[in-house]
Amino acid sequence: MTTDTPTSFPLLPRSISVMVSGHRRKRKFLPFRTDLHRAFATLDTVLEKFAQIQNDGARADASFPPELYDRGPTTIRVITGHADRVDRHAIRKAGDLDLRVNLIVPDEFHGMTPDKPERSVSFGCPHSVSEKDNAPFATRDEFALSYADILVVVWDGDTPPGAPGGVVWLIQQAVAMGLPVLWIDLQGHVSTIADHRVTELWLHRLKRTTLEQGLLAGLFEAYDIDNGVLIDSLRRRLNPFDAGLVSPSLQTDVLRSYATETHGSPLMEARVGWFEQFMTSLFRVRPCDFVNSLSRLVLGTRTCKQKHETSEASHSGPLAARFDWSDARANVAGRRHGSATWLLYMLSSAAVFASVAGIEQFGRGRCFWFSQCSGDVKTVWPWIELALVLIILYSFVRAGRLHWHRLWLGHRFVAEQIRYLQMLEPFLAVPAPFNEPLITYHQGHYRLRNAELWLLQRSLSAGGFPALYETYRLASQSVPERGRRLEEAVELQFVFHRKKHKAAHSLHRRMELCATVLFGVAALCTVSHIAAHLCESWPVCTDRFEALLPRDERWLSLFSASLPALGAALHGVMTKLEFGRIAEQSNKVQARLEVLLSEVRFTMTRPDLSGWQPMADLRHDACEIAELLGDENVQWRDLINYQRTELP
């Protein structure tokens, strides 16, 4: 953990990001333009009510619990485009109300812009392309929705024939993401999504190429805007701890545990994981790791450094504190889980050894090797066995109560998704987990879907755009420069998975070989023990054969019972920590990354390295890389999810 890492849960800023959108001029003709003043009047009312929340933060205190949010002022951020009519009206009104404005346009900026937009980004798609294809607008809308907490949309309620596009696609995507929506029709009436109608069947029907007429509008129900803009769906998103809106569940408990988590004692956490490192260094025959494991135990630090160590660039932006915290906590929890797993299985084999030694009446210390000892000394083995069993039970209960396994998976998932987000930031893209629904409805109850997704999405929308987006033009960026940085990020991931595959594969292979040898020696001891008993009753047993057997047959019993226990313990560690599957998974990701890395390098060698299309191709490559890494992270999480700490 670095000195900049937070010592407790990083609180979120009190912020609500409101995306405003609607029909463009070319979408509607004269009737639309003459009737739009009613919709604009309602839109003004909506923005004014949001401004009241910003000016008087106490209005929204119930939506910002102190466990999750800081005590600073409430910020309302308006996210919109630059199209005529609705977008420009929202810009003017937001400026009058002193609301922060973030602009996102699919092409280039033109015409009116706010005096001081907080952030402004443009994709730079040529007008000739955006006029013929809705894809640039869909890309822009998907990116904007990722940073939004609620969508305010002006829509006539009509679903044109054919594939959904424009406002219809925007609302459809917001519904699929589980975002709250305030729909203002052309008469100025307001409707909200009836969340209980958004079933899996309805979502499946919304994904069809051609939408049924009235299918999308059928999700909405009338709403009285005089009741305020903090609609129930928005309040559920902001505060999943509100038991009146979100039913308590395992995920709310998990989120609460994240919020109350603090950094432990530096003296203790500096020594966490020494036993796992010690055991793996023995099997991998790595002297440097062996020395570091002992120095970590004694000094709490490393004394031996590897020859080739890669350093990761520091993270910056609104999510930097969240990444540093989750990355540090994942490392600590992961080392605790690994050491606990090793400890439980090694102690279990030691308990079997103590049990057999007690049964065979072995002494301790010098008496263990030379059996000339009193009987009182030999009674210590049952006490040793009892102590080992008690330590096993204590370690198991402690690992379960402190949730090391869950914290490891959860924090690692959050940290890795933020890592992929930073990779995509220069390309105006967001990883898929930032676009998934947060709240589910089932049998009359609303429940938090996933605590880690809530942390990711609320950290993104509450933090707002990074400083990179202050005035950012994607198509104007240097393709070689962005490609080089993407190449560096991919190479770091490539090296990571190559080392991960090599380490896990060698560890799995050597532990498997060691377990096989242990079982082989145990089988030899068992055969020798049987032969010793046969020699006692068979006169054909010669003195020469007797000389091959040990003088004290108790050693044969000890080895034949304890060595299989040790071999089974090694196999248990391999199974619980999934060395074999992780090695195979990293090998597949490494092979796929090699192909994608070649594609990025090929894109950078094209003769035309300026303009929209080369950057769009590079953006596609970056999204594909992030998708691959994100899928690998999810698969790893699913693989390890059921390997909780258990009794051997």
What does the DSSP assignment read for 458-500? HHHHHH-S-GGGTTEESTTS-HHHHHHHHHHHHHHHHHHHHHH
pLDDT digits (tens, 9 = 90+) for 320-330: 999 999 999 99
Residues 446, 450, 453, 458, CA torsion sign: positive
**Full DSSP string of 161-207:** SSS--HHHHHHHHHHHHT--EEEE-TTS-EEEE-GGG--HHHHHHHT
What is the C-alpha to C-alpha distance for residues 177 and 174, in angstroms, rounded to an integer? 5
- pLDDT for the residue 609: 72
For residues 458 and 299, the model is more confident at 458
- pLDDT for the residue 31: 46
Evaluate if residue 171 carries a pLDDT over 80: yes
What value, to the nearest 5°, has the Cα angle with vertex 12 and ends 312 and 49?
140
- Which among 457, 472, 466 has a CA at the least distance from the CA of 150? 457
For residues 302 and 424, the model is more confident at 424
- pLDDT for the residue 623: 93
Per-residue H/E/C for 36-68: HHHHHHHHHHHHHHHHHHHHCHHHHHHHCCCCC
- Structure tokens that stand for 442 in this block: 């089932």
- pLDDT for the residue 29: 42
Percent of the chain with pLDDT over 90: 45
- pLDDT for the residue 370: 46
- pLDDT for the residue 377: 52
- pLDDT for the residue 32: 46
3-state helix, strand, coil in the chain (%, to 5): 60, 10, 30
Q: What is the dihedral of CA 28, 31, 32, 38, to 10 degrees?
A: 180
What is the C-alpha to C-alpha distance for residues 205 and 406, in angstroms, rounded to an integer? 35
Average pLDDT over residues 33-48: 85
pLDDT digits (tens, 9 = 90+) for 82-131: 777 888 899 999 999 999 999 998 887 665 555 567 888 989 888 777 77
For residues 165 and 237, the model is more confident at 237
Evaluate if residue 37 carries a pLDDT over 70: yes
* From 383-397, 425-439, 507-521, 554-568, the region with the lowest mean pLDDT: 554-568
Long-range contacts from 193-201, C-beta under 8 angstroms, 24+ separation: 193/219, 193/220, 193/221, 193/233, 194/219, 194/220, 194/221, 195/232, 195/233, 195/439, 195/441, 195/446, 196/441, 196/444, 198/441, 199/441
Confidence of residue 311 (pLDDT cuts 50, 70, 90): low
Q: At what angle do helices 320-359 and 274-284 cross, to 10 degrees?
A: 70
For residues 160 and 289, the model is more confident at 289
Average pLDDT over residues 238-254: 94
- pLDDT for the residue 453: 96
Q: Are 19 and 47 in contact, with CB atoms under 8 Å apart?
A: no
Helix or strand holding residue 250 (H, E): helix 250-259
Report the residue count for the chain: 648
Amino acid at 389: V
* From 98-112, 145-159, 172-186, 567-581, the region with the lowest mean pLDDT: 98-112
- pLDDT for the residue 253: 95
* From 365-369, 450-454, 527-531, 588-592, the region with the lowest mean pLDDT: 365-369
How many other C-beta atoms lie within 10 A of the C-beta of residue 71?
9
Average pLDDT over residues 369-382: 59
Highest mean pLDDT among 4-13, 143-152, 469-478, 578-587: 143-152
Highest mean pLDDT among 34-43, 232-241, 398-407, 484-493: 232-241
pLDDT digits (tens, 9 = 90+) for 437-473: 999 888 888 999 999 999 999 999 999 999 889 889 9
What is the C-alpha to C-alpha distance for residues 469 and 467, in angstroms, rounded to an integer? 5
- pLDDT for the residue 317: 80
Percent of the chain with pLDDT over 70: 87
Evaluate if residue 572 carries a pLDDT over 60: yes
* From 432-446, 509-523, 545-559, 602-616, the region with the lowest mean pLDDT: 545-559
* From 42-46, 303-307, 317-321, 345-349, the region with the lowest mean pLDDT: 303-307
For residues 480 and 32, the model is more confident at 480
Strand partners, 184: 154, 190
Helix (H, G, I), strand (E, B) or coil at 79: strand
- List the CATH code of the domain at 15-245: 3.40.50.450
* Residue 8 phi, psi (nearest 5): -150, 175
What pTM value is reported for the model?
0.89
Mean pLDDT, rounded, of the chain: 85
Highest mean pLDDT among 109-113, 166-170, 313-317, 323-327: 323-327
- pLDDT for the residue 600: 86
Strand partners, 22: 154
Scan for tokens 């377990």, then name that residue.
515
What is the C-alpha to C-alpha distance for residues 104 and 490, in angstroms, rounded to an integer? 27
Helix (H, G, I), strand (E, B) or coil at 146: helix
